[in-house]
Amino acid sequence: MRVLVAPDSFKENLDAKQVSAAIEKGIKNADPLSEIQLCPMADGGEGSMQTLVEYTQGSYVDLHVCNPLLTPIPASYGVLGDGETVVVESAATIGLGLLKQEERNPLKTSSYGVGLLIRHAIGSGYRKIVICIGGTATNDGGAGMLQAMGCYLYKNDGKCISTGNQALSEVYGIDTSKMDDLLDGCELILASDVINPLLGANGATYVFAQQKGANEKDLPLLESNLKYYAAIIAKTAGTDFSSCPGAGAAGGLGFAFMSLMGAKMRKGVELMIELLNVEAAVTEADIIFTGEGSVDFQTSFGKVISGIAALGQKHDKPVAALCGRKVGDMSELYKAGLTAVFSIADSPMSIEKSMSDAESLLENQAEQVMRLFMRGTTIKKKY
């Protein structure tokens, strides 16, 4: 039996590699002779760089940059096994997890560190750069990143603006000449699991800013600053990208990349599937295991399970998803190609208990699914 194991992480519990290993143990318990291919996945958010680097047998480049409050920190970017493609993860330098709860304030936090990573990669001779955007502490529309890349954002007195969303209302003009020279010959690809526009009720501020430490009373100011800044950027770019899907990703980082740096937005899971050559593995498999911590209404919108399910449907392969929590109607996922969803909980238990026992629960549930599939296959062969 040929089995493909391609799950996402169980966020804040197990990374995708650990999830894959636990599922593999369960499959082996049911069928020691099975041929298992492990392909830990990600959707363009946190963990994507590690997944791509390790799967392609790439390497890391370590350097010192800064966190969202411009405090120096160590960080790294990945070089894939082809030796040509760089992967930058925005959360590595401006991630929400880099700040204490009391430090989180999207009026002040800056995306500057991401620009430093990209600038170092280009200065080292790399020209194809994949940027995984998500999980950030910022809401500055990518202004800090642009400044780190050599873009000059200045006030009406000609002086450079300060950092954070709080400074966006001071932007009077933009000079991109130095950044344009730096980016000559570069290809930038954005990987995101977010399709939100920059502004409005579904935009960066009103959907994500409170998760990043904003108070409800801060939201109108954050939105107003972004709106003003977006108009200046659109005037400079000659095109308004604020309504494009993904412009609101990472506090507007997607908007800056698309507007002034010529970056192309891709659904994170689709890009991961392409870079990891997952479709070829799907065609060889008899059954596919995938999974993530929670399966709910969001899963069908660009998450790993939906991407793997679509490939299963395309190649007529059964796809089983294992999850820590299953919430709501699964019908859209079934229509998209998912065969079945299984919660790993084997009895009534708390979330804390489920998380602490996640590896053994995954192993057990994978074994049960595999035993059922093997029995079904045997019956089918008889008839």
> Is residue 278's pLDDT more than 90?
yes
CA 317 from chain center: how many Å?
26
Distance CA 262, CA 118 (A): 14
E-assigned strand segments in the chain: 2-5, 35-38, 59-66, 72-79, 85-89, 128-132, 152-154, 173-175, 187-192, 264-267, 287-295, 319-326, 340-343
Give pLDDT, residue 353.
Answer: 84
The average pLDDT across 188-204 equals 93
> Is residue 297's pLDDT more than 80?
no
32-36, 90-94, 296-300, 307-311: least confident range? 296-300
pTM: 0.85
Beta strand 2-5 pairing with 35-38: parallel
Taking residue 368's Cβ as centre, other Cβ atoms within 10 Å add up to 14
Give pLDDT, residue 381.
Answer: 64
> Is residue 229's pLDDT more than 90?
yes
Give pLDDT, residue 346.
Answer: 78
Give pLDDT, residue 111.
Answer: 97
- Domains belonging to the chain, first-starting first, are 2-41+276-382 (3.40.50.10350), 48-269 (3.90.1510.10)
- For 335-379, how does the pLDDT look when each residue is reduced to its tens digit (9 = 90+)? 989 999 999 987 787 888 888 889 999 999 999 999 999 887 665
